[in-house]
Structure formats: C-alpha cells, structure tokens
Amino acid sequence: MITVNLRPDLKRKRARSPLQGVMEGMRGLGTKVKDPLLVASVVSWVGVLAWLGYVAVGTTRELNALEPQLEQTRSEHKRFKAFLVEKRHQETIRDSLVAQIGVIRTVDGDRYVWPHLLDEVTKALPAYTWLVDMAFAAPAAQPQSQQPVAAKADSATDEPFVSPPVSFNVNGRTVDIQAYTRFLRQLEASPWITDVTPVSAQTVVEKERPVTAFTIRGTYRQADSAYIRTVPLSESVR
C-alpha cells in the first residue's frame, strides 16, 4: 500500500503513555505557578486538615468506647455515695449512744460502792465479832501527783468506770483477839478493799465482860472484772 503525506511540514505524532501525559501536565503546572510559598502553605493546610480529621475520628471512636465505662462509674459513684451517707448516719447514732452511755456510767459509777463494801465486810467478819458502826472517813491528804483521778469510759475502749476512792471506818467488838487479826487479814484479801489499816484496839468492859474494841480503816477499789458477777434485774415468777 502506498501512503501519501499531504502535509509534509508536520511530523507524524507518536502514541504516548498516560503517565507521560500526567508528568507533562505537572511540569506545565509548575511553570505556571510563580509563588512556591503559596503552594507550600496550601499543602501544609491540607496536611493539617487531614491530621485534624484523623484525630477527630480517633477521639470519637475512643469516646464511644469509654461511654459504657462512664455509665458504670456513675452508677458506682451513686452507690458509694449512698453508702457513705448511711455510714455517717450510723456513726452519728454510735457517737450519740456512746455519749449517753458515758453519762449513765458517770451517774451510776459510784451507786454500788457501799453495797460492795457492806457485802465484803460481812463476808470477812469472823465468829464472836460484831460491828458497832461503819461510816465514811475523810481520806488522808495526798500530794497532787498521787491523787487518784476518776476515769471515765473511753469511746474507743471498754474500760469500766472507775469510781473515786472512798475511805471508810469500821468500829467493832470481839471477845477474841485472834478474831480481830483474822478480820484484818480477810479484809485485806478482799478484791474490793485496799489500804486496810488498824487504827486502834483497846480493851473495854461491856455488860460486865471485857471485850476488844477496835477501829479499822479501809479504802474501796474497783475489783477486776473476774470478780464481778451480774444477775438479771427481774425473774419470772410462777
């Protein structure tokens, strides 16, 4: 076949690849752009916007993942808040009860001092010995550093109320001097009595018979809890 070129001044175009066309377009765009800083700023803004979009998407995803934990934490907060309110209420009731118990112990602390003393003196009294009277005695003066102090029950401990010291005198008679010394020893052995001291002992005549008149001084003390026995205030009667 014979081909005739009707336009000899134009060269025949060769087939080009698409990549080559893109490269030529970019080179042409580069020749058209006269300010490269503007291009750099535009590219930077595009990168910043892309990064902000990525961060926003990631934050939204994390927020959606933490939403159940937030609801669980709120429910636990409400539960513990109610627990703390109830705890404070119970502590207020406890403090009120402790204060009332302290007042009761202060009032009743020395109510049973003399019953204990009478009971112990009666138990220690030997045969052929009788009492004339038993009365309160003023304690001897002591230095300020040695004076006992009445202790009250503390809210943090179960220590019982300790009554202030009570001194007493016992006046009695006996026909046997050995009974007198036995009476002293038995009083000293009592867990409720301390500082047993013989004040005087002399022979007197009563009903035409010689007897020994004696005076003994002692001090009440709070016994150990092992010696305390409690009984019910009321019992059913059939």
pLDDT in tens, 179-206: 999 999 999 999 989 999 999 999 999 8
62, 114 contact by CB (below 8 A) = no
pLDDT tens digits along 66-105: 888 888 888 899 989 999 999 999 999 999 999 988 887 7
- Would you say residue 231 has pLDDT above 50? yes
Cα–Cα dist 211/49, whole Å: 120
Q: Is 169 left (phi over 0), alpha (psi -120 to 50) or beta?
A: beta
Could you tell me the residue ranges of all domains in the chain? Answer: 18-108, 113-142+162-223
- Top pLDDT among 79 and 15 is at 79
Alpha-carbon distances of 232 from 71, 189, 228, 235, rounded to whole Å: 56, 28, 13, 7
pLDDT for 154: 44
184, 216 contact by CB (below 8 A) = yes
Tokens of 21: 């066309």
pLDDT tens digits along 29-49: 556 556 667 777 877 888 888
Q: Which fold has domain 113-142+162-223?
A: Alpha-Beta Plaits (3.30.70)
211, 203 contact by CB (below 8 A) = yes
Which residues have a Cβ under 8 Å from the Cβ of 195 and sit 6 or more positions away?
167, 217, 218, 219
Pick the closest to residue 174 from 132, 137, 134 (CA basis): 132
- Top pLDDT among 89 and 161 is at 89
Q: Is the pTM of this model over 0.75?
A: no
Which percentage of the chain shows pLDDT scores above 70? 68
Residue 202's identity, in one-letter code, is Q
pLDDT for 89: 93
